[in-house]
């Protein structure tokens, strides 16, 4: 009797999910993959779909667009009269982020330099500090921040902090209570709760943002973790790139934080007005902040990357540990390379996840065959997310080249329309490439059948990684 009831309920649920996938499936490849999963893996297939497969744009969980008040002070302060005008317009229309000028920028490579700059800026805070991270781990860095926060709060500085409920899962309640006891307002993003686990575990806030007084900001790939200073016991040195911004673009990062703050706390805060930022009379850089999440109408980060790839005319250098391109991105990369553009990818040779590593390598053959150069970085783990092209445009941020960053995570990048900054990142790429191993197409074809099998296994999971 109970068996019949269970089987009937299971069949009803499976049919309901299949109908939902057919009605709302965003991509044919994903739709087919999930249908096969549900039909071939009893019970487990349905659980996997509930955890990882639902189309957030069709079934919005947080309804962010309906709850956040957009800052009316964010207005266009610059213009472009070149081929990147379409990219500027795309980003502005997608996430209401206008182009800003007069920004002072500093590329911060690796943990030591980055945290020295962050702590220096934090010590100068006069009014407020906004901080949010995907990974916030306890250790020497976290303890140093706690002491600094206590000092700044005693000076009347207001501090707000967001941490991701899954990425910072190891963060103990004892540390959080210390933050709250000294006056830090701290909230988790979609914390790990059993009742909400199935609905929210797949949607994470991958952003890394610090904004001081609405004028100085930091973003990029670096999380709060001692591994950026001491290395990782398994992977070795942890390499990454961060960005310090002083100017109106910092106000736009503050607006992104303010949206997320309302999301986690239901408290509205008005970001600092760009008019409050000191005018440097055109001495700074053109910067546009692009932020995206699973409840946006369109995958703005994917569209921005796609546009940058297609507009490259001379060279396109990409540094990223998780290059798992969907059909649009891989076609854009191949088309650009086959048209004569020097396309180079720098990827960490060591991986922090075997399955993800197999999946990344499963695309190597198609990329190499189209003339794309692949450089494998051997010194520890390379975690940077950088694109630079044509001595004209570049981006540093949190988004990887994979569906997770494009479809399921909240991400943020800075797009920099500046020749000098692009050349700086290009020279850094070329310098790092001298210690890399360049993988040839012929060498890759000679890999063992065991490696090919692993890659095939990894690629099966590419829609959900």
For residues 405 and 301, the answer to whether their CB atoms sit within 8 Å is yes
Query: Which pLDDT band holds residue 72 (cuts at 50, 70, 90)?
Result: very low
The total number of structural domains that make up the chain = 3
By the 10 Å C-beta count (0-12 exposed, 13-18 middle, 19+ buried), 265 is classed as: middle
pLDDT at 284: 85
Handedness of CA 53, 58, 62, 65 (dihedral sign): positive
The pLDDT tens digits for 399-429 are: 999 999 998 899 999 999 999 999 999 999 9
In a domain, 85, yes or no: no
383 is known as an active-site residue: yes
**Mean pLDDT, rounded, for 260-284:** 75
| Residue 290 is assigned to a structural domain of this protein | no
Residue 216 has pLDDT above 60, yes or no: yes
Q: Give residue-wise pLDDT tens across range 373-393.
A: 999 999 999 999 999 999 999
Residue 396 lies in a domain: yes
Question: How sure is the predictor about 50, in pLDDT bands with cuts at 50, 70 and 90?
Answer: low
Q: Provide mean pLDDT across the span 97-126.
A: 96
List 101, 102, 164, 213, catalytic entry: 213
**Measured between alpha carbons, how far is 90 from 73 in angstroms, rounded to an integer?**
20
Do residues 351 and 265 share a domain?
A: no
Catalytic annotation present for 130: no
- Active-site residue, from 102, 240, 390, 402: 390
Residues 234, 210, single domain; the answer is yes
Which token pair is 327?
């059909």
Q: Does residue 254 fall inside a structural domain?
A: yes
Do both 310 and 266 map to the same domain? Answer: no
261 and 145 in one domain? Answer: yes
The b/e string for 174-211 (b: 16+ C-beta within 10 A; e otherwise) is ebbebbeebebebbbbbbeeeeeeeebbbbbbbbbbbb
Given the residues 227, 239, 252, 385, the one annotated as active site? 385
Those residues whose C-beta lies under 8 Å from the C-beta of residue 225, and which sit 6 or more positions away, are: 135, 137, 139, 141, 238
Find how far residue 352's CA is from the centre of its chain: 16
The range of the structural domain enclosing residue 18 comes to 2-53
Q: Does 335 lie in the same domain as 212?
A: no
Q: Quick one: pLDDT at residue 156?
A: 96
Residues 320 and 442 in one domain: yes
Tokens of 393: 């445009």
β-partners of residue 285 are 103
CA distance 418 to 430: 18
CB 165 within 8 A of CB 188: yes
Rounded distance, CA 121 to CA 126, Å?
Answer: 10
What is the domain-level CATH number for residue 418? Answer: 3.30.870.10
The long-range contacts involving 337-341, CB below 8 angstroms and separated by at least 24 positions, are 337/370, 337/371, 337/372, 338/370, 338/371, 341/312, 341/313, 341/314, 341/315, 341/316
The Cα angle at residue 224 between residues 221 and 228, in degrees rounded to 5: 70
Burial class (CB in 10 A: 0-12, 13-18, 19+), 273: middle
Q: Which two tokens stand for residue 214?
A: 């609405």
Q: What is the mean pLDDT of residues 437-459?
A: 91
197 and 224 both lie in a single domain: yes
Active-site hit among 30, 208, 227, 252: 208
149 and 45, same domain (yes or no): no
On whether residue 93 sits in a domain, the answer given is: no
Together in a domain, 269 and 306: no
- Distance (Å, whole) CA 87 – CA 92: 9
Q: Lowest-pLDDT range, 7-11, 209-213, 263-267?
A: 7-11
pLDDT of residue 153: 97
Q: Could you read off the pLDDT of 337-360 as tens digits, one per residue?
A: 999 999 999 999 999 889 999 999
Give me the pLDDT at residue 418, please. 96
> Which of 296, 383, 432, 454 is an active site residue?
383
Lowest mean pLDDT among 6-10, 83-87, 89-93, 324-328: 6-10
Residues 49 and 74 in one domain: no
What average pLDDT does range 209-215 have in this prediction? Answer: 96
Q: pTM value?
A: 0.87
How does 137-153 read in b/e, with b if 16+ C-beta sit within 10 Å?
Answer: bbeebbeebbebbbebe
Task: Residue 283: count other Cβ atoms within 10 Å of its Cβ.
Answer: 11
Q: Which pair of tokens denotes residue 180?
A: 């709250």
Tell whether 48 and 70 lie within a shared domain.
Answer: no
Average pLDDT over residues 52-59: 52
Residue 432 CB coordination number (10 Å): 18
- Report yes or no on 191 lying in a domain: yes
DSSP structure string for 114-155: HHHHHHHHHHT-SSEEEEEES-B--SHHHHHHHHHHHHHHHT
In the residue annotation, 379 being an active-site residue is answered as no
pLDDT band of 80, cuts 50, 70, 90: confident
| Residue 385 falls in the annotated catalytic set | yes
Contacts of 443 (CB under 8 A, 6+ apart): none
Q: What number is the average pLDDT over the span 106-135? A: 97
Tokens of 357: 């590593």
Nearest to 412 by CA among 186, 218, 273: 218
**Interval 230-254: pLDDT, tens:** 998 889 999 999 999 999 999 999 9
pLDDT band at 68 (very low <50, low <70, confident <90, very high): very low
Which residue among the candidates 30, 130, 152, 206 is catalytic per the annotation? 206
The pLDDT assigned to 270 comes to 75
pLDDT of residue 49: 57
Q: Does the pLDDT value for residue 51 go beyond 70?
A: no
Residues 27, 68 within the same domain = no
Q: Does 249 fall in a domain?
A: yes
Phi and psi, residue 412, nearest 5°: -150, 140
Say whether 390 is catalytic.
yes
The predicted structure's pLDDT at residue 459: 81
- Residue 96 · residue 70 · CB < 8 Å: yes
Q: Which two tokens stand for residue 351?
A: 């991986």
pLDDT band at 58 (very low <50, low <70, confident <90, very high): very low
Mean pLDDT of the chain: 86
């Amino acid at each position: 009797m109970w068996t019949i009831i269970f089987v009937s309920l299971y069949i009803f649920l499976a049919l309901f999910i299949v109908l939902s996938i057919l009605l709302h499936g965003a991509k044919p490849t994903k739709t087919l993959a999930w249908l096969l999963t549900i039909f071939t893996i009893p019970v487990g297939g349905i659980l996997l779909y509930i955890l990882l497969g639902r189309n957030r744009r069709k079934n919005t969980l947080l309804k962010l667009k309906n709850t956040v008040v957009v800052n009316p002070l964010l207005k266009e302060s610059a213009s472009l009269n070149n081929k990147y005008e379409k990219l500027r317009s795309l980003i502005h229309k997608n996430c209401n982020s206008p182009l800003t000028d007069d920004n002072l920028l500093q590329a911060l490579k690796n943990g030591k330099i980055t945290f020295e700059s962050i702590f220096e800026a934090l010590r100068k805070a006069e009014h407020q500090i906004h901080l949010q991270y995907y990974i916030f781990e306890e250790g020497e860095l976290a303890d140093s921040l706690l002491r600094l926060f206590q000092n700044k709060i005693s000076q009347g500085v207001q501090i707000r902090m967001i941490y991701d409920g899954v990425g910072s899962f190891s963060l103990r309640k004892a540390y959080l209570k210390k933050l709250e006891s000294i006056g830090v307002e701290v909230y988790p993003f979609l914390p790990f709760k059993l009742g909400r686990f199935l609905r929210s575990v797949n949607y994470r806030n991958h952003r890394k943002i610090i904004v001081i007084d609405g004028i100085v900001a930091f973003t990029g790939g670096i999380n709060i973790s001692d591994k950026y200073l001491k290395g990782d016991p398994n992977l070795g040195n942890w390499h990454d790139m961060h960005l310090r911004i002083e100017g109106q673009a910092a106000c736009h990062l503050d607006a992104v934080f303010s949206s997320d703050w309302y999301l986690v706390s239901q408290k509205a805060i008005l970001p600092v007005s760009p008019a409050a930022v000191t005018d440097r009379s055109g001495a700074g850089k053109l910067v546009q902040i692009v932020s995206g999440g699973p409840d946006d109408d369109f995958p703005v980060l994917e569209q921005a990357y796609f546009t940058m790839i297609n507009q490259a005319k001379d060279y396109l250098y990409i540094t990223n540990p998780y290059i798992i391109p969907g059909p649009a991105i891989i076609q854009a990369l191949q088309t650009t390379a086959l048209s004569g553009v020097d396309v180079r990818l720098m990827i960490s040779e060591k991986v922090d996840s075997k399955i993800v590593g197999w999946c990344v390598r499963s695309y190597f053959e198609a990329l190499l065959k189209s003339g794309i150069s692949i450089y494998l970085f051997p010194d520890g783990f390379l975690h940077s997310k950088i694109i630079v092209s044509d001595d004209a445009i570049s981006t540093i941020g949190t988004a990887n080249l994979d569906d997770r960053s494009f479809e399921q995570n909240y991400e943020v990048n800075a797009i920099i329309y500046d020749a000098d900054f692009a050349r700086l990142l290009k020279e850094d790429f070329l310098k790092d490439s001298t210690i890399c191993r360049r993988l040839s197409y012929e060498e890759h074809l000679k890999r063992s059948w065991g490696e090919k099998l692993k890659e095939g296994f990894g690629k099966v999971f590419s829609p959900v990684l």
